[in-house]
Amino acid sequence: MQKRYYYFPILKTRTSEVNAYEALDFSVKSEILPIIEMTGELGYTYSSKCKDEKMRGKRRPGDINKKVQKILNFMENRRFVLDITDDEALKYDGLSNRNGGLLDPADGYRAWCNFLRQNTTFKKQVIPTIQFDTTYMSEVEKQIEELDKEFDYLAIKLPAHTNSTDSLEPNPIPQIIDYVYAKLSNNNAKLLIILDYAYVSDFDEKTVQYGLSNIDTAKLKALIVVSSSFPASVRNAGKPPLPIHENDISDVAINTLQKNNVFHGDYSSIHPIRYEMGGGGWIPRIDYIIRDSTGRAIKYAYFRGNKANTSSEYTGLAQQVIAAPNYVPITKLSVIGDQRIAAKARNGAEGKSPSYWITVRSNIYMTTQYLYLKAHGLFLSL
C-alpha cells in the first residue's frame, strides 16, 4: 500500500541531525521522506600506548558498510532517499572516487550499486540517487541501467545554480532529465529530481525561476526543491531574527510549474556545508523558529551568551526564549525540541553542548514544516 509524504528534509548522517529526526513525533516520521546525505565513516589512529607496538601511530580506516545498519537503526521500517554528501569536509573514509570507494565510477559505479543491495531490508526501503559525473558518462549509463533493474524509484540531486542566470544561456537541467528519462524502463513513474538551491541568503525570484526553466515535470515522479537560509555563522549574518526563505523558494517552484508533483524540501535548518568554528571556539546559543498565523516558518531567532566554550549560560538563555513574546511552543503534537527548552529553563541537567541545541532547533523546525505543509494538502504517494 502506498504512503503519503508531505515533506522532504535533507539529513546528513551526523549525530545532531540524526538525533533531531529520531526525536520527531511518530506521526511526523510516518509522513516525511528524508533525503539522507551519507557522510563517510570515521577511522581510528592507534595511540602511542597501544599494546601492539607495530600498530602504534597507524590508522585504521572506517568501514563504510557500517552505515547500512546505522541508517536502518534510526529509519526503522520507513522509506528514505539515499545520497552521498557533496561536502568535501565530511567525505571521510569509504566515499573516495577511486580504489573502490562509493564514488568510484569503475564498472558502472559498481561499489555504490553493491552497497545499496548488500542488505535485503535496506534495499526494500532505500530510494537510491544516481551518481552523476559528466566525466564518466559511459559508467553513469551502466549505473542507471543497473539501478533501474533493481529499484522501483530512483532519484538524482542536481544543483539549481549555474554560473549565469542569463535567459540567453540554456538551463542544463532539462537535458540531464531527458538523458536519465530515456534510460529508464518505467519512465515518468520512476524518477525523483532533487533541485538544490543550497544556501540562499537573499531571496531572488528571478534566480529561482532560472533553475526551473524548461523543466518538464511530466517526465518525473516528483520534483523536490531544496534550500537552506540558515547561515554558516549567525555572528556574521546580522542581528536576529533572520529571514527564512525555504518556503518562498518552493512556493515559486509550485506556482511557476503549476503541477501537483512539485514539493518542498530543505536542509532541516542546517547550513548545507560544514563550517569550522573560529579560533575563539563556540558561544552558547539557543535558536527557535518564529511562525506566522498560518503556521509558516518565517524567521530564525536566538538568544546568545557571552562566555566562550562554557555551558553555564544555557539555563538563562532558555529562560529568555520561554519569555520571548515571539516564541510559541507547538501544541498540536509532542515536540521534543520545545520540551528540552522548557526543561533547561528549569535548570535541567541536559543541554551542555552546541550539538544538543542544533538538534533542538532542527527538531522544532522539521515539525513546523511538516505541520504547515500537511495543512496545504500536497503530497507524494509512494
Q: What is the pLDDT of residues 189-243, one digit of tens each?
A: 899 999 999 999 888 898 898 889 889 999 999 999 999 999 988 877 677 899 9
User: Residue 331 contacts by C-beta under 8 Å, 6 or more apart in sequence?
Assistant: none
Confidence (pLDDT) at 164: 47
Confidence (pLDDT) at 45: 62
For the chain, the straight-line distance linking the first and the last C-alpha, in angstroms and rounded, comes to: 8
Confidence (pLDDT) at 75: 96
Grouping H, G, I as helix, E, B as strand and the rest as coil, residue 191 is: strand
For 245-262, what is the mean pLDDT? 94
The yes-or-no verdict on residue 274 having pLDDT over 50 is: yes
Cα–Cα distance for residue pair 252/210, rounded to 1 Å: 11
Confidence (pLDDT) at 167: 52
Cα–Cα distance for residue pair 361/321, rounded to 1 Å: 12
Cα–Cα distance for residue pair 158/369, rounded to 1 Å: 23
Strand 380-381 versus strand 242-243 pairing type:
unpaired
Tens digits of residue pLDDT in 283-326: 999 999 999 999 999 999 999 998 888 899 999 999 999 999 99
Cα–Cα distance for residue pair 369/373, rounded to 1 Å: 6
Confidence (pLDDT) at 41: 81
Backbone phi and psi for residue 34, each to the nearest 5 degrees, phi listed first: -65, 145
Please tell me which residue, 86 or 49, carries the higher pLDDT value.
Answer: 86
Query: Which domains, from first to last, does the chain contain?
Result: 4-42+58-276 (3.20.20)
For 337-359, what is the mean pLDDT? 96
Confidence (pLDDT) at 278: 55
Please tell me which residue, 262 or 280, carries the higher pLDDT value.
Answer: 262
For 143-167, what is the mean pLDDT? 84
- Reported confidence tier of residue 54, pLDDT bands at 50, 70, 90: low
The yes-or-no verdict on residue 255 having pLDDT over 90 is: yes
Cα–Cα distance for residue pair 14/113, rounded to 1 Å: 23
Cα–Cα distance for residue pair 101/363, rounded to 1 Å: 32
The yes-or-no verdict on residue 121 having pLDDT over 50 is: yes
The mean-pLDDT minimum among 2-11, 65-74, 184-193 falls in: 184-193
Cα–Cα distance for residue pair 119/350, rounded to 1 Å: 36
Confidence (pLDDT) at 280: 62
- Reported confidence tier of residue 166, pLDDT bands at 50, 70, 90: low
Backbone phi and psi for residue 142, each to the nearest 5 degrees, phi listed first: -60, -40
Q: In DSSP terms, which residues pair with 304 in a beta bridge?
A: 285
Q: Which long-range contacts does 146-149 make (Cβ < 8 Å, 24+ apart)?
A: 146/108, 146/109, 146/113, 147/113, 147/116, 148/183, 148/184, 148/185, 148/186, 148/190, 149/185
Q: What percent of the chain has pLDDT over 70?
A: 91
Confidence (pLDDT) at 51: 74
Confidence (pLDDT) at 105: 96
The mean-pLDDT minimum among 110-114, 264-268, 308-312 falls in: 308-312
106, 119, 336 from 23: Cα distances, Å? 39, 26, 6
